[in-house]
Amino acid sequence: MNSYTPGRAADFIFSGVRSYVNVLEGFEEFHRGLQEVRKGNVYISPEVQRKMEHKKSCRFTAEQLTPKHVEIIRLLGNGYTTIEAAENLGISKRTVDTHKSDIYSILNVRNENELIRFALSQGIIHLEELNFFPREKVMSQRKAKKAARKIA
């Protein structure tokens, strides 16, 4: 019994938890779940089951992403701004914005925070791929790339 959101509870179930009842779903639901667990059965509350179905359908949605979309998600997950991602990929800021808009639409997310959480939870990107740099290091990398382009 806990008060995690149904979406978070669905993540637990996908990770191997066998039974879950949310305290926010009321005493009757808790009691029903407790009875099933005592019998040795698996019990997942209806709200969590609905969330699990939604998450399963999202996996197919993620297959619509292009390799460029995934690369942009990875850069954003590493803390790059839109301008920094554009410079890293050698494309315009507007093109990155267009890709971001497409990604948000495909995955049905509203902002970068939701995007990164969703991408990690669905395995689109992995935590091991994310490198968090102090702002100074990112800025020095940006300046170095800019200088290299001027030389070339």
Using one digit for the tens of pLDDT, what is the confidence trace for 14-28?
677 767 776 777 888
Average pLDDT over residues 32-37: 83
Contact 65, 105 (CB under 8 A): no
Please say if the pLDDT value at position 1 is more than 50: no
What residue type is 73 in one-letter code? I
List 138's β-bridge partners, or say none. Answer: none
Predicted local confidence at residue 102, as pLDDT: 93
DSSP state of 131: -
Which residue would you say has higher pLDDT here, 50 or 39?
A: 39
Please say if the pLDDT value at position 52 is more than 80: no
Please say if the pLDDT value at position 119 is more than 50: yes
The structural domains of the chain, with segments of one domain joined by +, span: 6-58, 64-151
Mean per-residue pLDDT over the chain, rounded: 80
Domain 64-151 class in CATH: mainly alpha
Please say if the pLDDT value at position 55 is more than 80: no
Written as six digits, the tokens of 3 are: 């008060």
Q: How many CA atoms lie within 13 A of 120 on its CB side?
A: 14
Model confidence pTM above 0.85: no
Please say if the pLDDT value at position 71 is more than 80: yes
Q: Strands, DSSP E only, in 28-128?
A: none
Please say if the pLDDT value at position 85 is more than 50: yes
